[in-house]
Amino acid sequence: MSATSYALREETRPRLGLIVLQVDETIEHEFHQLFPPETAKLHVTRIPSGAELTPQTIATMETALPAAASLLPAGLDVVGYACTSGTTLIGAERVHALVTGATQCRAVTDPLSAALAQCRALGLARIGIVSPYIASVADPIRAAFEGQGITVPDTLSFGEKVEARVARVAPASIAEAARALARHNRLDGLFLSCTNLRTLELLAPLSKELGLPVLSSNHALAWHMASLARISLSSRHAGQ
């Protein structure tokens, strides 16, 4: 075998990492729409998660998070842990510490921290929350928003804990729940919580229909990662 010379070319696009639940069937599809290939280079790893989303399975994810993060390439600009309820129950600071302890990156975020940041950026003081969760998972998310000074007059949940079914909740059902919250409460905005809910195509039409900003776990996470990486989202989904 003869050796030959070669040149190295550095990657100029921002490099993003995403830690996705094993059972999540939605966020990767939506992130590829939000971050076209020319915008950023997206690296995905999976974390073991139970078929049912409960406080017990979330506690197991805390233990598995370092190993999942360690499988990402080193030197990423931003890493996102893609689980709203997981962040809420594990704690955002703990999530960030576990990720930065396992992989080299410039910044870490998650859907809860991202949604709170987006609420602050938009000046939202009263939000309604739609989620698929059972009460033991849904209630701490409401408390997390209220703990940051955001009033949550009401929430609606589908009471579903089987993740395979969460990914198949009809977008029309999500939209109707959002409409019900907007009809019965004085709100500044709405948050559609859970990375496994199919929400991306709902955001702009619902926002226009209701006259309110409509946020989602996936869009908020992408928005925050884009802000931290100093890039823009796809113009189609840049803002709601």
Work out the average pLDDT over 101-112.
Answer: 97
What domains does the chain contain, in order, with CATH numbers? Answer: 15-110+221-235 (3.40.50.12500), 113-216 (3.40.50.1860)
pLDDT for 203 equals 97
Instruction: Give the pLDDT band (50/70/90) at residue 235.
Output: low
Question: What is the pLDDT confidence band of residue 59, given thresholds at 50, 70 and 90?
Answer: confident
The alpha carbon torsion through 139, 144, 145, 148 (nearest 10 deg) reads: 150
pLDDT at 239 over 70: no
Count other Cβ atoms within 10 Å, centred on residue 225.
29
CA angle 224-201-115, nearest 5°?
25
Q: What is the average pLDDT across 72-98?
A: 96
pLDDT band at 236 (very low <50, low <70, confident <90, very high): low
Give the list of residues 6+ apart from residue 204 with CB closer than 8 angstroms, or none.
237, 240
Is the pLDDT reported for residue 154 higher than 60?
Answer: yes
The percentage of residues in the chain with a pLDDT greater than 90, rounded to a whole number, is: 86
pLDDT band of 54, cuts 50, 70, 90: confident
Is the pLDDT score of 218 beyond 80? yes
Q: Is the pLDDT of residue 191 over 90?
A: yes
Any idea what the Cα angle at residue 89 is, between residues 69 and 157, rounded to 5°? Answer: 115
Mean pLDDT of 163-190: 96
